[in-house]
Amino acid sequence: MAGKKQTVEIIALQCTECKRRNYTTSKNRKTMQEKLELMKYCKWERKHTLHKETKVK
């Protein structure tokens, strides 16, 4: 079963202001090819900021 690519991948959401990875989520690569950008709450900034998709280490 090795070698088969999965359509759903786990991603991290990184805050654009403090540069910390605050959230993890999954996304379907077949339906969403572009990078995910969401307004989420950052507990270090104590406000809603833009979070962009990054890879999970």
Q: What is the CATH number of the domain that holds 45?
A: 2.20.28.120
Long-range contacts formed by 49-52: CB under 8 A, 24+ apart: 49/15, 49/16, 49/17, 49/18, 50/15, 50/16, 51/13, 51/14, 51/15, 51/16, 51/22, 51/23, 52/13, 52/14, 52/16
Domain of residue 44, residue span: 8-55
Q: Do residues 43 and 51 lie in contact, with contact meaning Cβ atoms separated by under 8 Å?
A: no
What would the pLDDT profile of 2-35 be if each residue is shown by its tens digit? 667 778 999 999 999 999 999 999 999 999 999 9
> In total, how many domains does the chain have?
1
Is 36 inside any structural domain? yes
Q: In what order do the strands lie in the sheet with 37-42?
A: 21-28, 8-15, 47-55, 37-42
**pLDDT score at 3:** 64
When pLDDT is cut at 50, 70 and 90, the band that residue 54 belongs to is: very high
